[in-house]
Structure 1
């Protein structure tokens, strides 16, 4: 039977995503009510600029006092879409304390203090859902948290930022340089005026922290995630990748150690074989590859950003939380029972592609090979090209620890015959 008293929703933020959430709540009101078992009513919208025209939202619902809105006491669910750390953290905490459950898309806050927010939600017997915080419309957090709850996840490998994937895909498909591809991304609206959070990997690192925590049932904070941006990736790197049958992607990689005693989380550009499913992810799309004991290999793919796709994830959480409100239950909270340590990047083992500018004379290759051997890094292949006294030397290694590779590179820089280290890139997905 349909409950007649509506569930009241407070919306914090009415930008690209928030306005889509409000629109869908209005246009799909009857369907949402049927799925939830009660009407859903937009009870207030907190914004910074009240004078801006917001089509479809009655003026009397607009307020600049977000704190007063979440303190009302009659709000069932607060949807937080303002982003950042503060005032979002204080508003979410206040919402819990005044009887509301929370749906959020705030990856930065959840990566920094997800454990603290979950603790408050549990104390107040309220829900905290955040499917939209990672990979936009792609159902990912709920499958990890619920569908795979009986399985052991060993690895999560993915493209979780559409801006960077668009740029790298454009460089790969057209031969464009980084700046040229970034300019096109900006012109098409895929890149922000300040793209730092995307291209330097901060956005992906926050998502990696969230994914690692859920996948491995342990606490992983943003500071635990190793991060490298992609601004140094060049057309020459793509040419080398193609020569190896690879392409380049900015990857978020979360792994459980082989002995199960620790986890790692990292974000950096990497070469992956063209045969790998992630290699074919084009444009601004996202995809995440999950490896587990029982289910094996799973891939989740779709639009990772944008107003409507992200609003879809928000509304999915809203329906789930509203159903819980009606039944008097709460959904799954944080699971950190394993309490696994996060290993430093130096312990990560992978393959490497190193490009060196060297003197074109006899004995150089032998010197370089000796340095690799002294640091315990085994060479898989070497390619050398020389002209007019200068040469490029491309070395691809077997698996080695990041610490060993770093020691190798420092020693190479001290060789008189090495003019410079042009690029270092990890090779993943093999």
Structure 2
């Protein structure tokens, strides 16, 4: 600043001197410069000095403002830290009411503190992951009241998180991570119409033993929702009319022994749903009325010993469904009235030792279905009144038992060669195959 002031004075003197020299003091004709001309030069020079001083004043004011802002930011950060500590302390209280206040305080702090929002969310999720203890019996009324109070605190935390994930949330928490690993869901939890545009939502190892967790109408346009290793022993997880345009929903190593998981009328326009190595001993998974325009569904190496999988009325216009390497020992799998336009479905390498797979009234227009290297040892696979442009692919398939019923199929103009003597493979007539068929 001192340098600038000295420079401004020097500039002003220099300007006055240059102006007087230009006017001529004295001038070449020997005439003196008039007082008016000198005053004009001085006035202009002083105006320049004043302008320079104004610039200096603005710089000084800006520096003061920056110092003030930095101080305010420090004070604000200190205030946020104090609010965080107080809210976190309340979550350790023995009183349910105090913990409830702490949950609301953390959610409010997450709204105000953009830089610390993920940290607040992490604490809320960590609280849900904490062991809650078993429910006391009627002989302990005080303990039962306290247990219900803590259950209400947990339910409130879930409601606050869900509210901030809605499309029209005043302060949305979209794009953040949410970790519900190991959480037990035995009551209702709703993420309906939520927006998952990025980040990761984890239900890994979660236990669904009752109640309902809903994602109805939710939009998954990025990120991942993971149910890896989750246990479904009751209750319901529902994605009714949800939209998947780029996300991945994973059920890797999940165990389905009861309850339902529903993707009815959902839209898959690029998303993925994965069930690798999942075990199905009961319950139901349904994709009834779902639309697959470019998405994929994979059951790679899954084990089906009970329950049901349903794709009734689903539309595949570019999607892909894979049961590669899966084992079928029991259960019902229905693709009745499904429409395969340009998509594909494969059971390659699968083992069919029990259960039933039905494609009644399904249409395969420009799409394919493959059973390459499959082992039919005991299941029933039926295609009653199905319509094919291309016959199913059975390359290197083994027929040692069970039934694959193609007797009521309507073939298109081109069919592949089907094995005629395979045990359990039921065909209408040998004339169903054209003379120029290509061996599969």
TM-score between the two structures when normalised by the length of structure 1: 0.26
Which has the larger Rg? 2
Q: Pick 1 or 2: higher relative contact order, CA cutoff 8 A, min separation 6.
A: 1
